[in-house]
A and B are shown apart, each in its own frame.
Chain A
Amino acid sequence: MKPKQQRLILAILALVAVVGAGLLAAAALRDQAAYFYTPSEAKAATITPGEAARLGGMVEVGTLRQDADGLTILFSLTDGKASVPVRYTGIVPDLFAEGSGAVADGQFNADGTFVAEKILAKHDERYMPPQMGEMPEHLTDTVVDGGAPVAPTAAATAPARAPGQ
């Protein structure tokens, strides 16, 4: 085999490998990518229970309930038009609260409740899932207020955080 032929074979190998990987990746993406839904979209779409999904919206005021085990919470995510019940077991992020934005990663179960495995809450304006930027302004709270030092709120200094009160 001449060097030239060997080079051609290598080039073809590389091309086949890269194109093959791209095709395989695309096929895997079709199965594994999680779609992002707002509550209204989730209500309108038919989502197979157990399929990975993301749900983003505002934690509806008055819906946050603590389960007796102290670890599971139930709440609804809303976009102002529709709301979806969510269940989550674990430690919620620090800024998770009624009336502020959150994104839940998980899947729907058979009775239409969204079972979250991970919750992202809106931090300040520098940290939020991109989808939340499209929500109306009043749904998201900003923490930093024009550079003026913010007085610690009672909720922040007292470690007690009684959901639902």
Chain B
Amino acid sequence: MIAEIGHVFLWIAAALALFQIYTGVVELRGGPLSPARPLAIAQGTLTGLAFLLLIWLFIVTDLSVDLVVRNSHSLKPMLYKISGAWGNHEGSMLLWLSVLGAAGAAVALFEQRLKPRTLTATLVAQSALSLGFFAFLLFVSNPFKRLPAPATEGMGLNPLLQDPGLAFHPPTLYFGYVGLSVAFSFAVGALITRDVGPAFARAMRPWVLASWIFLTLGITAGSYWAYYELGWGGWWFWDPVENASLMPWLAATALLHSVSVTANRDALRAWTVMLAVVAFSMSMIGTFIVRSGLLTSVHAFAVDPERGSFILALLALYIGGALALFGARIGAVAEGKRFALLSREGSLVINNLLLSVILVVVLTGTLAPIVAEAMGSKISVGPPYFNPVSAIFALPLFAVMVIGPLLRWRRDDGVKVRRWAPVMLVVTMLGIGLLVWLAPGMRLLPLLGLALAAAIAIVSLVPLAGRNLLRTPLPIWGMVIAHFGVAMALAGMATETAFIKERLVAASPGDRVEVGDWQVTFNEIRPVAGPNWTAVEAVLTARRGGSSDIMRPQARYFSQPSTETNEAALLTTWNGQLYAVLGHRIDGTDGAKPRWQLRLWWKPLVWWIWAGGGLIALGGLLALIGRMQPVRMVKVWFARLQSRSIPNGRYGR
């Protein structure tokens, strides 16, 4: 019964989306007003309820539902029963649709700054997006499909995906992906009503910020998951799925900076609209890549050409439609205000160009295997392509980060830059000099990366210089913390790349291995058991200086379904992580002791990468809180109490 109710909810929500488009178009053509807000709220509510019902089916392990049988098991821990609801193709598409509906409902509930006509047009665009995905769900991948006869037991879930981090990873990324749909709808709505300007940018900015925060968190968490769960010791593999989340992030980062220019200074109007379209297009392309089965990886749930072509058709329809609208209407968008090249806007234009270029590079490398496959040759594109080509453009991007925050809006006299430039140059040169002296033979890219990280870290704090810290607006704090986070992550990446130490040994209990400045003793090997797995565990003692710690890497065996996984052991210290992986047993010939393969890495500063990612997201969160209306009202009121007005600062509202 529950499954049928969920299915009916989806149909009703789809009908409401169609009705919203119809009434909205009528209104925009000068007819009677559309009940846009209630329709959007009802649509979001019904879709959300359908998703909750699906989760319920997984909680009770309803074995008459096809999806539950294929992705769950009555013996699974409750958390993974619940996450099983979105740990598969149909469920994840329903999650996507729920977020799409919730975003439309949130716009309808909270958006007060847009003209009513533009709001109607925005909600029509959002419903048009929803409608396509409703069709996809209802016609080719119904999550509520029943089996002709109930199964006796479910088929479980890949134990690789049984990890608390991974339970929350897809929803986080989806909030990010689909939050960008609102930016897309705002852009389309503003184009339809010819209403592109600072008010539109100010309405769009919190949405861009919010989805960018989720994307940042999702990418950071996903990178950490891959790092410790796969046991390969890397933190970024340029896997198609990673790229699928990186591309919307790059576009959203560019959009975040350009929307600030449009909101504050009324420049870059057309560019911001274009980027909003591109950002959500990247989300859809990412979804298409991951869900179409074109590129198979841990995340690809099923290979199904029918679904792939359906999503591809949707993609072509939405992106093509939005670009056609952009081409038709952009002439009518008035130019924004002028600015000098040496100005905050100028540096943000360069930031945007470089981010777009990196986006093109990543997109090309990600799609190349698909194109090549269509032309009959099979290629794979990996780090040898991505690392150098993206670094070429990332380094100037970081260099602009050093200069940009020092510049004024509209036109800069160069005073601040001239004051800080010697400091920056000295810091950078000193850094390079120190590194060359302490670590001869270091490769160029990590060297430049570390030097730039130091410069960014210092400059990121400059906006706080000479301010009353308690009265500094939150968006400024956000910028400072996010930029500092970039410096931290960059320092972590460069240090780990340059100074990593790796040892691969076959050792017997009692042996000692040295890695970096650590002495690792292999104490014993023993069997252990968990709730749904059994494992072999190596017990290692890691010593450095006077301290010692125990590490327990495991090789696990799961029975439902029968799978083996590797559990790496991590030892985190202030200056890095020791990483241990247990391999296979090697039986000695002619009576020698059996040995075990052990892989040990010393990764200096590696955790700075994710800490930096967390700081970037935190900076975004502070900026978002500072931009929210209620918070601003409290602040204005508080300032009035002090009988002074808030200084507008360089972040003029």
Interface positions of A (Cβ within 8 A of B)? 1-4, 6-7, 10-11, 13-14, 17-18, 20-22, 24-26, 28-29, 31-36, 52, 54, 66, 68-71, 89-92, 94-95, 105, 118, 123-124, 126-131, 133, 143-144, 147-150, 152-153, 156-157, 159-162
> Across the interface, do B364 and A22 meet the contact criterion of CB distance under 8 Å?
yes
Closest B residue to A132 by beta carbon equals B296
B 349-384 contacts with A by CB, 8 A: 349, 353-354, 356-358, 360-361, 364-365, 368-369, 372, 377-382, 384
Contact of B356 among A4, A17, A31, A89 (CB under 8 A): A17
> Across the interface, do A71 and B271 meet the contact criterion of CB distance under 8 Å?
no
Residues of B with C-beta under 8 A to A36: 378-380
Residues of A with C-beta under 8 A to B357: 17-18, 20-21
Distance, CA A79 to CA B60, complexed state (A): 45
> Across the interface, do B379 and A28 meet the contact criterion of CB distance under 8 Å?
no
Residues of B with C-beta under 8 A to A70: 506, 586, 595, 597
A20 to chain B, nearest CB (A): 8
Residues of B with C-beta under 8 A to A34: 379-382, 384
The reply to whether the CB of B328 lies closer than 8 angstroms to some CB of chain A is no
> Across the interface, do B270 and A7 meet the contact criterion of CB distance under 8 Å?
yes
Distance, CA A83 to CA B227, complexed state (A): 34
Closest B residue to A54 by beta carbon equals B380
Residues of A with C-beta under 8 A to B298: 127
Residues of A with C-beta under 8 A to B302: 126
Distance, CA A22 to CA B270, complexed state (A): 22
The reply to whether the CB of B639 lies closer than 8 angstroms to some CB of chain A is no
Residues of B with C-beta under 8 A to A126: 158, 300-302
Report, nearest first, the 8 A-B pairs whose CB atoms are least far apart.
Answer: A70-B506, A94-B564, A91-B583, A36-B378, A32-B385, A25-B364, A3-B335, A21-B357
The reply to whether the CB of B153 lies closer than 8 angstroms to some CB of chain A is yes
The reply to whether the CB of B119 lies closer than 8 angstroms to some CB of chain A is no
Query: Which of B95-103, B311-319, B473-481, B552-560 forms part of the interface with chain A?
Result: B552-560
Distance, CA A90 to CA B587, complexed state (A): 16
> Across the interface, do B158 and A29 meet the contact criterion of CB distance under 8 Å?
no
Q: List 20 A-B contacts (CB under 8 A).
A: A3-B337, A3-B338, A13-B353, A18-B357, A25-B361, A28-B385, A28-B388, A34-B380, A34-B381, A34-B384, A54-B378, A71-B597, A91-B566, A92-B584, A124-B158, A130-B294, A147-B153, A152-B559, A156-B557, A159-B527
Residues of B with C-beta under 8 A to A54: 378, 380
Residues of A with C-beta under 8 A to B153: 147-149
User: Known contacts A36-B378, A92-B584, A144-B155; is A21 also within 8 Å of B361 by CB?
Assistant: yes
> Across the interface, do B365 and A29 meet the contact criterion of CB distance under 8 Å?
yes
Distance, CA A120 to CA B256, complexed state (A): 38
Known: A29-B385, A149-B153, A156-B562. 4 other contacts (CB 8 A): A1-B338, A36-B380, A71-B506, A150-B561
A160 to chain B, nearest CB (A): 5
Residues of A with C-beta under 8 A to B358: 21
Residues of B with C-beta under 8 A to A69: 506
> Across the interface, do A94 and B555 meet the contact criterion of CB distance under 8 Å?
yes
A41 to chain B, nearest CB (A): 9
Distance, CA A22 to CA B358, complexed state (A): 10
User: Known contacts A7-B270, A126-B301; is A131 also within 8 Å of B562 by CB?
Assistant: no
The reply to whether the CB of B571 lies closer than 8 angstroms to some CB of chain A is no
Contact of A91 among B151, B349, B361, B597 (CB under 8 A): B597
> Across the interface, do B361 and A24 meet the contact criterion of CB distance under 8 Å?
yes
B451 to chain A, nearest CB (A): 24
The reply to whether the CB of B154 lies closer than 8 angstroms to some CB of chain A is yes
User: Known contacts A22-B360, A66-B586, A70-B586; is A35 also within 8 Å of B379 by CB?
Assistant: yes
A contacts with B: majority SS: mixed
Distance, CA A126 to CA B353, complexed state (A): 39
A11 to chain B, nearest CB (A): 8
A19 to chain B, nearest CB (A): 9
Closest B residue to A153 by beta carbon equals B562
Residues of A with C-beta under 8 A to B223: none
Residues of A with C-beta under 8 A to B430: none
> Across the interface, do A35 and B377 meet the contact criterion of CB distance under 8 Å?
yes
Residues of B with C-beta under 8 A to A24: 361, 389
Distance, CA A29 to CA B527, complexed state (A): 47
Distance, CA A130 to CA B308, complexed state (A): 15
Contact of B561 among A52, A66, A144 (CB under 8 A): A144
Q: Which of A1, A95, A149 has the most CB of B within 10 A?
A: A149
Residues of A with C-beta under 8 A to B583: 91-92
B 389-429 contacts with A by CB, 8 A: 389, 393
A155 to chain B, nearest CB (A): 10
Closest A residue to B562 by beta carbon equals A150
> Across the interface, do A89 and B504 meet the contact criterion of CB distance under 8 Å?
yes
A122 to chain B, nearest CB (A): 11
Residues of B with C-beta under 8 A to A156: 557, 562, 564
B84 to chain A, nearest CB (A): 13
> Across the interface, do A21 and B296 meet the contact criterion of CB distance under 8 Å?
no
A93 to chain B, nearest CB (A): 9
> Across the interface, do B566 and A94 meet the contact criterion of CB distance under 8 Å?
yes
The reply to whether the CB of B650 lies closer than 8 angstroms to some CB of chain A is no
User: Known contacts A147-B155, A160-B594; is A91 also within 8 Å of B380 by CB?
Assistant: no
Residues of B with C-beta under 8 A to A160: 585, 587, 594
A14 to chain B, nearest CB (A): 6
Closest A residue to B559 by beta carbon equals A152
The reply to whether the CB of B523 lies closer than 8 angstroms to some CB of chain A is no
B 269-311 contacts with A by CB, 8 A: 270-271, 294-298, 300-303
User: Known contacts A7-B270, A21-B361, A127-B158; is A91 also within 8 Å of B594 by CB?
Assistant: no
The reply to whether the CB of B581 lies closer than 8 angstroms to some CB of chain A is yes
Closest B residue to A28 by beta carbon equals B389
The reply to whether the CB of B565 lies closer than 8 angstroms to some CB of chain A is yes
Residues of A with C-beta under 8 A to B379: 33-36
Closest A residue to B506 by beta carbon equals A70
User: Known contacts A1-B338, A21-B357, A127-B158; is A10 also within 8 Å of B349 by CB?
Assistant: yes
Closest B residue to A118 by beta carbon equals B232
B491 to chain A, nearest CB (A): 26
Residues of B with C-beta under 8 A to A147: 69, 151-155
Distance, CA A152 to CA B361, complexed state (A): 46
Distance, CA A33 to CA B295, complexed state (A): 16
